[in-house]
Structure 1
Amino acid sequence: MEDLDDLYENAPCGYLSLAADGVIIKANRTLAGWLGMQSFELLGRRFYDLLNVPGKIFYETHFAPLLRMQGYFNEVALDLVGPNGRKLPMLVNAAERRLSDGSVQFTRITLFQAADRRRYERELVDAKNAADRARRELEELNRTLEERIDAGIAERLQLEQGLLAEKEVARLREQFVAILGHDLRNPLASVAGGLNILSREPQSDKSKRVLTMMSQSTERMAGLIQDMLDLARCRAGQGIAIDPKPTDLRIVLEHVVQELQTAHPGRDIQRSLTIEDQVTCDGGRVAQLVSNLLGNALAHGAPDRPVKVVAAPGLNEVVITVANEGHPIPGHVKDHLFEPFFRATSSAEKQGLGLGLFISYEIARGHGGSLEVQSDENQTAFLFRMPV
């Protein structure tokens, strides 16, 4: 008689089960063996953490919304990364199990090794390219000798120009991401405008839910694009763009608090803003920094305890503190909080690429200031110190 436990653990494919918040709650030995790990080492981690950086971007912007909308996806090509850094090409199927009220109970994922398939596809493409090259070469041989000489000279010049342009290409690599993000903003704004128009029309309950989901995804994509633009500037050595001017910082911070309070009506946000004089800074960037910190505190702090925003003048500086109560941040996590693509927990409320604290840190640096974190059993506090 077939042993079902053995069939699960030693199946010819990988199995994962995820809780509603994305945490791995079950994994078979087959997948763990492919990754060079034990099954229990995968428990408590997230499927998102097993992906490489391009896979994380595609998962957040496409596959996760698709899974939420239709409850499944099939034959998605993703690359997993094991502890040794080795990339494992996979074909992934996923399906959600939902409760009667429509909430996600858990998600089942099956994974199949796709290295041979990827290699076969590349070989097909290479074969086609080789056939195309052979056809072009045959056509070229039928041309006049003068044309062939001209083509050879042009090719040689092109190669030489390519060698001379290598440094320029390297410089433009980071700019490409910025340009891509910039060009995506206009069509995304059109989509957001269209959704806004549709939301004013009579809709069924199902249509309203889909429109709400699409609007939330659009807002997330806009945030991801802005984060990509800021990241590209930092990687290009330009840092975060800062435009300092005299600013009524108290009004700026009041607006940020009101905006987050509207988005989280059930939460207690307490503020003490005692900055009376104008401060020379980039008000928009400071608002972005405080919004990131306040959103982070609301997502990770104790939901039944207040979040506090304090802004006060110090000795030749302004100090803005965002604090929440809850579990302290572990020491090994604090060491990486301000790194790009790092997310401390698998909270379903805090989605994105893990760039918020990194960009906030760069905004603080751009103002000649600092951003630090203090965390103990009483509270977790982020302190932004800006010289004036």
Structure 2
Amino acid sequence: MSKNEVFGTEQERLELGTFIRENRNRLLQEWEGAVRQLPFARELSRPRLLDHLPDLLDRIAQVVETVRTGGHESLEDLPEVHALERLDSGFDLDEVAGEYALLRGCILQLYAEHIDKAGAASLAVAMREVVRFNRTFDEAVAAAVSRYARARERTLVALDRISEAALGTEDADTFLPKLLRVMLETAEAVDSVTLLLREGEVLRVHASVGLEELVASGFSLRMGEGFSGTIAAERRPREVRSAATDPLVKSEAVRARGTRALYGVPLLHAGEVIGVASMGSRTAFEFSNEDKLLFRAMVSRATALIVQAQLAARERVVERQQAETLALLDSLLAAAPACLALLDTDLRYLRVNEALAASNGSPVEAHVGRTVAEMVPDRAPLIEPLLRRVLETGETLRAQEFSAGTDTEPHTVHHWLADYFPVRARDGQVLGVGGVVVDITEHKRQEERLRQTAEFRERFLGVVSHDLRNPLNAILLSANALLRAEGIPASHTKMVRRIVTSGERMGRMIGELLDFTRGRLGGGIPIHPQRANLRHLCRHVLEELEIGFPGRELRLAAEGDFLGEWDPDRLAQLLGNLGKNALDYSPADSPVDFTLHDEGDTLRVEVHNEGPPIPSQLLAGIFEPFRRAVEGDAHPTSGLGLGLFIVQEIAQAHGGTVEVRSSEADGTTFTVRLPRHGAGVQAPDRAVH
């Protein structure tokens, strides 16, 4: 199926809402292929994976279309329902958010592809001598004038021919052979002309008439080397009478040709040697001064033409590079889903893409040459200070977030995230400023929906946990009544005790859920401080743990003053959770140590156990809710994984901290630091107890 067949070519199909609706199945197919790569989605059946997403896409299309229709469509409760379905499937919030991110990426990627497609007798004798003198003198003058005129004419003709040879082309490789042929034809004795151009410290043959093999072989000399290299180094003409035998001549082609006279001239431009031109003759041992003068004139004219050609070539390269760069820039601007813009130092738009133009509510061509204040007066007070800061400091500003309405939706607040960066010349001068702006309005909405979903879940857990207490209390009361009743068979008594034990464990779980809900939604676990002795609290907790863990050794070490203002019940819960955790994750034949340290205004409690260390990858999140100290733990008494979370909440509620260290050599130690007295509580007289 062709692209046109898939997407359609009608104008209305360029609209995003229509695109989503007409390509819903393909979008879901692409999304499913991406999300199936994630571990948490591999095991779900297709119906459970998709659940409400088709309806969600249809609703998104309706909301997008309100930009044109002015309607008031909304997503209502679909995202919440989807998130709760995922909760039921065992997903966490990051996984649900990951699904949404992948769905948005699939939509933008496929939509970007879619819109992509220069004595008197003595006196008489004396008089005759004067006449002869004058005649001879006139002849000399005439000869000189004629020679000068002829040479000048030759020079002018040669120069004109040189200019004509270069006329109509700026390509040196094309006109250089023509120039050399003009030089060759201007002097009868000349049978070869060669041009070497400088490339750094090397002279390389670029053109030759009469010695074409030099070009084919790529003949070159270093500056100061051989005939041409010496001319370049000395920066003056040089002549040899027998080039075929002169040791200064390095070219085997010149020797083999039997060249006699060889005359070379440096090409000078702005005080720099750019090359060497030479002419040779196999018939003459030396060139006339006229020929050499003419050659120098032609070389001078040729030098100007060569420099002009080189400059033109460089300009063409620069222009081509600039054109390629601009073409690439335009392609990137057109294809990018983000809003992109380049502005000059007066904050006038130089280039913008369709995404930014659409965001500003004006076509691309309307932006060029106009300022930010002219195009988006409502947003200019937010944007211009950031752009001027980039121009003044030359620094990049990242992740600048701002919110405002738009011309098309003045009553709807949109959110943008922008990066602004300086545009520099090669010398580092700031020429303008560029910006990449992403509309994160929908992302913000999704974040809010997910936050509300998470809050709903946590409130739901709290309500359910609270309502479960009443029937559970009834079960425990009934079971305890049965234990006290007479005449119950022993086998039934064992089952009733199991009911009591399981009910008490359920009660602890419900209590943890309620504490979790208070910690996440109620601003922390509430406490009711009163005067208490931490040593006494700790001893009482150890006694309770010994009942639940008969045969385990629990040790307490304490020396100092342990009076303070705390909530005794909550501290007992903290110590109990740490103790139970230490007992659960240590060998049955190893002790668990509680150590109390008096540090003045702060008390330190350490709970230590031996056994395997906590894996390093779990330590960073050990106090997060629904986490366990051992990955994949299935201990029958391990509960919901909220114990350490509640320990941290209780410590923080008292203004304290909790931390853990664990290693193979030293075992595992949880350390709690508690201020002796909370804020606003006056410290009493201290005494050792």
Matched, 1:379 2:667: yes
Given the superposition, is the C-alpha separation of residues 272 and 208 from structure 1 closer, same or farther in structure 2, using an over 3 Å criterion? Answer: same
Output one character per residue of 1:134-193: Cα deviation in whole Å (capped at 9) or x when no partner: xxxxxxxxxxxxxxxxxxxxxxxxxxxxxxxx9999988755543433333233222111
In structure 1, which of residues 314, 329, 332 is the aligned counterpart of residue 599 of structure 2? 314
Counterpart-to-counterpart distance in 2, 1:314 and 1:227:
31
Could you tell me how far 1:203 is from its partner in structure 2?
3.4
Could you tell me how far 1:234 is from its partner in structure 2?
1.6
In structure 2, the residue matched to 1:272 is 557
Matched, 1:212 2:497: yes
In structure 2, the residue matched to 1:327 is 612
Counterpart-to-counterpart distance in 2, 1:169 and 1:330:
32
Output one character per residue of 1:203-243: Cα deviation in whole Å (capped at 9) or x when no partner: 33442332222112211211111111111112214201111
Could you tell me how far 1:367 is from its partner in structure 2?
0.8
1:278-293 residue pairs with structure 2 within 5 A? 278-293=563-578
Could you tell me how far 1:34 is from its partner in structure 2?
4.8
1:142-221 residue pairs with structure 2 within 5 A? 174-201=458-485, 202-221=487-506
User: Given that residues 307 and 322 in structure 1 are in contact (C-alpha distance below 8 angstroms), is that contact kept between their aligned partners in structure 2?
Assistant: yes
**Aligned AA (1:322):** V
Output one character per residue of 1:323-380: Cα deviation in whole Å (capped at 9) or x when no partner: 0011111110111110101113324243311100001011111111100001112221
Matched, 1:353 2:640: yes
Counterpart-to-counterpart distance in 2, 1:224 and 1:196:
20
In structure 2, the residue matched to 1:369 is 656
Return the TM-score normalized by structure 1: 0.56
Counterpart-to-counterpart distance in 2, 1:170 and 1:309:
37
In structure 2, which of residues 508, 529, 545 is the aligned counterpart of residue 244 of structure 1? 529
Given the superposition, is the C-alpha separation of residues 170 and 309 from structure 1 closer, same or farther in structure 2, using an over 3 Å criterion? Answer: closer
Counterpart-to-counterpart distance in 1, 2:476 and 2:557:
35
Q: Secondary structure at the match of 1:35?
A: coil
Counterpart-to-counterpart distance in 2, 1:198 and 1:327:
42
Output one character per residue of 1:219-271: Cα deviation in whole Å (capped at 9) or x when no partner: 12111111111111122142011111111222111110000011111101111
Q: Secondary structure at the match of 1:246?
A: strand
Counterpart-to-counterpart distance in 2, 1:322 and 1:329:
15
**Which structure 1 residue ranges, 4+ long, deviate > 4 Å from structure 2?**
31-34, 166-176
**Aligned AA (1:233):** R
Could you tell me how far 1:283 is from its partner in structure 2?
1.1
User: Given that residues 364 and 370 in structure 1 are in contact (C-alpha distance below 8 angstroms), is that contact kept between their aligned partners in structure 2?
Assistant: yes
Q: Secondary structure at the match of 1:337?
A: coil
User: Given that residues 35 and 81 in structure 1 are in contact (C-alpha distance below 8 angstroms), is that contact kept between their aligned partners in structure 2?
Assistant: no
Question: Which stretch shows the higher mean deviation, 167-176 or 304-313?
Answer: 167-176
Instruction: Please provide the CA RMSD for this pair.
Output: 3.5
Could you tell me how far 1:54 is from its partner in structure 2?
9.2
Counterpart-to-counterpart distance in 2, 1:203 and 1:343:
40
Matched, 1:79 2:103: no
User: Given that residues 240 and 363 in structure 1 are in contact (C-alpha distance below 8 angstroms), is that contact kept between their aligned partners in structure 2?
Assistant: yes
Given the superposition, is the C-alpha separation of residues 278 and 32 from structure 1 closer, same or farther in structure 2, using an over 3 Å criterion? Answer: closer
Counterpart-to-counterpart distance in 1, 2:533 and 2:622:
30
**Aligned AA (1:236):** L
Structure 1 or 2, whichever has the larger Rg, is: 2
User: Given that residues 270 and 308 in structure 1 are in contact (C-alpha distance below 8 angstroms), is that contact kept between their aligned partners in structure 2?
Assistant: yes
Question: Which stretch shows the higher mean deviation, 169-178 or 197-206?
Answer: 169-178
User: Given that residues 188 and 222 in structure 1 are in contact (C-alpha distance below 8 angstroms), is that contact kept between their aligned partners in structure 2?
Assistant: yes
**Aligned AA (1:221):** M
**Aligned AA (1:262):** I
**Aligned AA (1:312):** H
User: Given that residues 249 and 275 in structure 1 are in contact (C-alpha distance below 8 angstroms), is that contact kept between their aligned partners in structure 2?
Assistant: no
Matched, 1:302 2:587: yes
User: Given that residues 614 and 662 in structure 2 are in contact (C-alpha distance below 8 angstroms), is that contact kept between their aligned partners in structure 1?
Assistant: yes
Gaps of 5+ in 2: 1-38, 45-82, 97-448, 677-689
Given the superposition, is the C-alpha separation of residues 79 and 324 from structure 1 closer, same or farther in structure 2, using an over 3 Å criterion? Answer: same
Given the superposition, is the C-alpha separation of residues 347 and 32 from structure 1 closer, same or farther in structure 2, using an over 3 Å criterion? Answer: closer
Could you tell me how far 1:387 is from its partner in structure 2?
1.4
In structure 2, the residue matched to 1:6 is none
Counterpart-to-counterpart distance in 1, 2:646 and 2:459:
17
**Aligned AA (2:614):** I
Counterpart-to-counterpart distance in 1, 2:675 and 2:483:
45
The number of residues matched between the two structures is 243
Given the superposition, is the C-alpha separation of residues 234 and 208 from structure 1 closer, same or farther in structure 2, using an over 3 Å criterion? Answer: same
In structure 1, the residue matched to 2:621 is 336
1:23-38 residue pairs with structure 2 within 5 A? 34-35=42-43
In structure 2, the residue matched to 1:157 is none
**Aligned AA (1:190):** A
User: Given that residues 319 and 385 in structure 1 are in contact (C-alpha distance below 8 angstroms), is that contact kept between their aligned partners in structure 2?
Assistant: yes
Return the TM-score normalized by structure 2: 0.32
Given the superposition, is the C-alpha separation of residues 359 and 246 from structure 1 closer, same or farther in structure 2, using an over 3 Å criterion? Answer: same
User: Given that residues 40 and 95 in structure 2 are in contact (C-alpha distance below 8 angstroms), is that contact kept between their aligned partners in structure 1?
Assistant: no
User: Given that residues 309 and 321 in structure 1 are in contact (C-alpha distance below 8 angstroms), is that contact kept between their aligned partners in structure 2?
Assistant: yes
User: Given that residues 562 and 598 in structure 2 are in contact (C-alpha distance below 8 angstroms), is that contact kept between their aligned partners in structure 1?
Assistant: no
Given the superposition, is the C-alpha separation of residues 347 and 273 from structure 1 closer, same or farther in structure 2, using an over 3 Å criterion? Answer: farther
Question: Which stretch shows the higher mean deviation, 285-294 or 327-336?
Answer: 327-336
Could you tell me how far 1:200 is from its partner in structure 2?
2.5
Could you tell me how far 1:303 is from its partner in structure 2?
1.4
User: Given that residues 250 and 275 in structure 1 are in contact (C-alpha distance below 8 angstroms), is that contact kept between their aligned partners in structure 2?
Assistant: no
User: Given that residues 374 and 380 in structure 1 are in contact (C-alpha distance below 8 angstroms), is that contact kept between their aligned partners in structure 2?
Assistant: yes
Matched, 1:254 2:539: yes
Q: Secondary structure at the match of 2:470?
A: helix
Counterpart-to-counterpart distance in 1, 2:648 and 2:635:
23
Q: Secondary structure at the match of 2:89?
A: strand
Could you tell me how far 1:275 is from its partner in structure 2?
4.6
**Aligned AA (1:374):** R
User: Given that residues 40 and 91 in structure 2 are in contact (C-alpha distance below 8 angstroms), is that contact kept between their aligned partners in structure 1?
Assistant: no
**Aligned AA (1:248):** N
In structure 1, the residue matched to 2:365 is none
**Aligned AA (2:570):** R
**Aligned AA (2:651):** A
